[in-house]
């Protein structure tokens, strides 16, 4: 079939297109990109691209041998170039040949492409979504009705292409991950899976954090249909799906978004603000309406098209502070360090998402304390959750430490309790902590191999019982010793070792315990969720506290021993007279410890312990943790 430029009328008016320029169009992919239309039983395709300062734009592809035979026409009001044409069957690769404002001619990708060819090529494919009959209505209805702040949230963080490989060494795509990862998530009792960025990126070494295609699933992971099937299968199994998203900066590649029409189109005009020296990328101009339309449309597309349950926004600090990068910076017009464009973009982003999809989780990866992040505060950016980077840094520093020095650094495990209610937090032990020479979580632990496993169980118990939602990076659940490698699969061979297999069993049991234990999540919004028994026992380095549920009798007692000394006949205060049963002990044999039997039930004594009138005595394993619950108590005898 002969390729021709057609004069089929556009289905969108100039006023529709102008909404993109005002930043008010949050479904801009319905105008820009490629779209199919039928006229007199003939199929045509309309291509549109925003390039306001380009001198000339041609549509090129395998259908016209990449030659300048299909000139696009420009709408002078909007800066949008357009062409409608027919295409031969099975020829669907395309780019835009742009004559930039400087006269330079360059091939550019379609910023709104939904599918790209596989690397090393980066041409877009003509792709028209097919309507899917989703079977996840029960999950989505339950999600809409539930209050996630008062529900368990335990996330398994995954890098899609290094989870598992085939025998040939090829990374699993979503077709294979549906068959392997979902049953594994079920077995391990996680509530959600979170993927490092799935959008199109040209270089695996970036782990997906330097994007070129904000509407496209990375072609290395499979087709959009396969990812939709994965999400649907997760929902059927009551597992939520969260994706990382990078609206702060983008890939520098010359044929992608960078200086698209020869001017600062997507980036800041000021080169010092445009260049992200820390990551070798380019910063979006987050104050530009067209960029806001592009980015918010991008994430809404993922939410609505793929039914994802949450978005983790990467590198929020880099968007809200002018002095975050390594290069020179200027104060804002108010004389402060806040990047006002980024600050107000994020507020707007969250407002739009909460209007369009109020039950989708918005999560900030943010490392400072100067700006209010979560919707717990009216003057915040409006996120649902913030990663608690302070907790993560403090506890890992503590657990790496020789126990001889822990008594003098006990505040590293208690300081987070001072600010735990300041934001709605997720406690992350993420990919960033097991790469670049930082060592795996297992390798960070002090002591010989047995003690390392014991402390890893202790650490995970602390995380699960500390107020806040949870996140653990893949491989850490069984104590992988080697650092994570983005281009290799996880060390599944570890599970042939009895200690690793038992560590995996422990993590699964701990996750299930968390899901079934309402005191660990249902009152997390209130300070009353936690009551300290003894947070000052530096000499023994033992931390003890209570997690309270809604009902008076519904609580758990947590005791964590941070030293390699077994604490025999150890006394703690309890709130009520009666009997207490041990329900978790990290040193049981099935978990890799040495204990064959649980501690016997504890009967209270009329001994004052701090502010408690009753106390019990029990044994706390070396480098171990135990959890007790009341089985027969007299609630009228409190304190």
Question: Is 365 annotated as catalytic?
Answer: yes
| Contact between residue 606 and residue 614 where contact means Cβ atoms under 8 Å apart | yes
- Residues near 564 by beta carbon (within 8 Å), at least 6 away in sequence: 403, 447, 451, 622, 623
Q: What is the dihedral of CA 363, 367, 369, 374, to 10 degrees?
A: 0
Q: Which two tokens stand for residue 314?
A: 């990467």
Lookup result for tokens 């491989």: 475
Residue 387: count other Cβ atoms within 10 Å of its Cβ.
25
CA neighbor of 226 nearest in space, from 162, 182, 167, 194 = 182
Catalytic residue of the set 290, 314, 366, 394? 314
Strand 469-473 and strand 154-158: the pairing is parallel
| Contact between residue 326 and residue 278 where contact means Cβ atoms under 8 Å apart | yes
CA neighbor of 552 nearest in space, from 639, 610, 491 = 639
| Contact between residue 387 and residue 244 where contact means Cβ atoms under 8 Å apart | no
Backbone angles phi, psi at 602, to 5 degrees: -105, 130
For 567, which DSSP code? E
Separation in Å, CA 131 to CA 92, 306, 366: 20, 11, 36
Please state whether 23 falls in left (phi above 0), alpha (psi between -120 and 50) or beta.
left
Exposed e or buried b per residue across 420-452, where buried means at least 16 C-beta atoms within 10 angstroms of its C-beta: bbebbbbbbbbbbbbbeeebbbbebbbeeeeeb
Strand 192-195 and strand 240-245: the pairing is parallel
Backbone angles phi, psi at 608, to 5 degrees: -75, 135
DSSP E strands: which ranges in 348-506?
361-364, 385-387, 425-429, 469-473
Helix, strand, coil shares of the chain as percentages rounded to 5? 30, 25, 45
- Residues near 183 by beta carbon (within 8 Å), at least 6 away in sequence: none
Residue 589 burial by Cβ neighbours in a 10 Å radius (0-12, 13-18, 19+): exposed
Q: Which two tokens stand for residue 584?
A: 């978790």
Catalytic residue of the set 244, 365, 394, 523? 365
| Contact between residue 173 and residue 222 where contact means Cβ atoms under 8 Å apart | yes
Which residues belong to the active site?
314, 365
């Amino acid at each position: 079939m002969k390729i021709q430029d057609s004069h089929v009328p556009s289905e969108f008016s100039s006023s529709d297109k102008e909404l993109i320029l005002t930043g008010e169009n949050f479904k801009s992919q319905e105008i820009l990109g490629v779209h199919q239309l039928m006229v007199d039983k003939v199929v045509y395709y309309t291509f549109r691209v925003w390039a306001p300062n380009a001198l000339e734009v041609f549509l090129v592809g395998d259908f016209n041998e990449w030659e300048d035979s299909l000139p696009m026409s420009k709408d002078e009001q909007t800066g949008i170039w357009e062409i409608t044409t027919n295409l031969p069957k099975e020829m669907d690769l395309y780019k835009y040949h742009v004559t930039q404002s400087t006269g330079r001619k360059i091939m550019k990708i379609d910023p709104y492409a939904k599918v790209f060819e596989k690397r090393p090529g980066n041409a877009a494919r003509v792709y028209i979504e097919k309507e899917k009959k989703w079977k996840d209505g029960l999950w989505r209805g339950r999600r809409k009705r539930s209050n996630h702040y008062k529900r368990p949230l335990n996330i398994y963080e995954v890098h899609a292409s290094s989870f598992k490989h085939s025998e040939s060494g090829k990374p699993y795509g979503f077709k294979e991950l549906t068959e392997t990862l979902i049953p594994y998530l079920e077995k391990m009792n996680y509530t959600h899976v979170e993927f490092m960025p799935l959008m199109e990126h040209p270089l695996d070494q970036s782990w997906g954090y330097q994007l070129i295609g904000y509407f496209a699933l990375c072609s290395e992971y499979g087709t959009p249909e396969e990812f939709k099937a994965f999400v649907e299968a997760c929902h059927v199994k009551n597992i939520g799906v969260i994706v990382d998203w990078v609206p702060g900066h983008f890939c520098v590649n010359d044929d992608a978004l960078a200086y698209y029409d020869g001017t600062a189109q997507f980036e800041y005009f000021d080169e010092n603000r445009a260049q992200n020296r820390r990551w070798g990328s380019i910063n979006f101009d987050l104050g530009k309406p067209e960029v806001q339309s592009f980015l918010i449309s991008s994430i809404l597309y993922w939410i609505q098209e793929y039914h994802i349950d949450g978005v983790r926004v990467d590198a929020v600090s880099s968007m809200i502070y002018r002095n975050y990068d390594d290069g020179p910076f200027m104060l804002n017009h108010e004389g402060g360090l806040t990047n006002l464009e980024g600050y107000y973009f994020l507020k707007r982003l969250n407002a739009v998402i909460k209007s369009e999809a109020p039950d989708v989780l918005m999560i900030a990866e943010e490392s400072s304390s100067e700006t209010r992040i979560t919707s717990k505060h009216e003057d915040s950016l409006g996120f649902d959750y913030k990663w608690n980077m302070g907790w993560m840094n403090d506890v890992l520093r503590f657990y790496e430490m020789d126990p001889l020095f822990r008594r003098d650094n006990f505040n590293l495990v208690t300081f987070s309790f001072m600010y735990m209610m300041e934001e709605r937090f997720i406690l992350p032990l993420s990919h960033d902590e097991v790469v670049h020479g930082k060592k795996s979580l297992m390798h960070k632990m002090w002591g010989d191999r047995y003690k390392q496993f014991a402390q890893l169980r202790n650490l995970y118990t602390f995380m699960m019982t500390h107020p806040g939602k949870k996140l653990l990076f893949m491989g850490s659940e069984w104590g992988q010793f080697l650092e994570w490698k983005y281009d290799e699969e996880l060390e599944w061979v570890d599970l042939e070792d009895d200690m690793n297999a038992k560590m995996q069993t422990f993590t699964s049991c701990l996750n299930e315990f968390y899901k079934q234990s309402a005191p660990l999540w249902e009152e997390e919004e209130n300070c009353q969720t936690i009551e300290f028994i003894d947070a000052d026992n530096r000499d023994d380095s033992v931390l003890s506290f209570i997690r309270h549920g809604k009902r008076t009798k519904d609580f758990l007692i947590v005791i964590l021993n941070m030293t390699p000394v077994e604490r025999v006949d150890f006394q703690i205060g309890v709130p009520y007279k009666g009997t207490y049963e041990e329900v978790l002990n990290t040193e049981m044999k099935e978990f890799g410890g040495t204990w064959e039997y649980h501690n016997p039930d504890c009967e209270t004594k009329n001994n004052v312990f701090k502010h408690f009138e009753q106390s019990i005595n029990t044994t706390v394993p070396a480098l171990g943790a135990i959890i007790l619950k009341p089985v027969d108590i007299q609630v009228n005898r409190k304190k």
